[in-house]
Structure 1
């Protein structure tokens, strides 16, 4: 690949990432959330209660970031954190009724964001997009090790 093509690919990915995150922030603001918190809520909605360390791994973020997010969401009444019965060092995180409602609102925002993002792209290409993006992420991850 020559520099011009490499530059075009890397710039497109960089710009998409920046603009997507900015749009997420705009859409989450009315819900009282910050980027990253929506992923945590959606993960708990998908999986149910999780040990905080497992949640960190599932989200691909450092444990201190998850601790900060869970504390803020707990203070707002959206999460409950309790000691794990078999390991007092571990904390189980689960959605409260308020958190479940908020996760439903986040799902609606997520649909809006996806529809905005893929507007004008053929349905066939949209169907292939998750696999393509997953491959890109896996390619980058493979080089991190």
Structure 2
């Protein structure tokens, strides 16, 4: 790929990421949330109670960041923490009734943000976007071995 094409692609992805996060922050602010906290609430709404370390892994966020988010959301009454029954060193995090209600409001905002983001695109393109973006994400995932590195190892 030549530089002009690479630059256009990388700039488009960078700008989308920045603007999407900024728009999400605008929508979340009236709820008293910051970007990232909505993902934590939505993950717990999807899965139910989770050990905090598993929550960190599910969100792809460092443990100290999750600890800070959990503390803030717990202080606001949206989450409850308790020791894990089988491991007193682990902490289980779950939504409170107030947190469940907030997660429902976040779902509404998330739908609105998604609709705003894909406005003007054909339905077929919108349907293909999650898989396409998933491939792009996997291609740059620093936690996965690189295909090129794997190919080179196979040649040795």
| DSSP 3-state at the match of 1:38 | helix
> In structure 1, what is the Cα distance between the partners aligned to 2:142 and 2:26?
32
Other-structure match for 2:150: none
Residues 81-96 of structure 1 aligned to structure 2 (within 5 Å): 81-96=81-96
1:22-33 superposed matches below 5 A: 22-33=22-33
1:75-110 CA-to-partner distances (Å, cap 9, x unmatched) read 000000000011111000000000000000000000
Larger Rg: 2
Paired with 1:38 and 1:143, the residues of 2 have a C-alpha distance of 23
What's the counterpart of residue 112 of structure 2? Answer: 112
Residue 69 of structure 2: aligned partner: 69
Per-residue deviation, 1:142 = 5.8
Deviation at 1:141, TM superposition (A): 1.1
The ranges of structure 1 where at least 4 consecutive aligned residues each deviate by more than 2 angstroms after the TM superposition are 142-145
Q: CA RMSD in A?
A: 1.0
Residues in 1 aligned to 2:133 and 2:47: alpha-carbon distance in whole angstroms: 23
Find the aligned partners of 2:143 and 2:51 in 1 and give their Cα distance: 29
* 1:144 to partner: Cα distance: 5.9
How many aligned residue pairs are there?
A: 145
Counterparts of 1:53 and 1:132, CA distance in 2: 29
Relative to the length of structure 2, the TM-score reads 0.91
Unmatched 5+ stretches in structure 1: none
1:19 aligns with 2:56: no
**2:127 alignment counterpart:** 127
TM-score, normalized by length of structure 1?
0.98
CA distance in 2, matches of 1:67, 1:143: 21
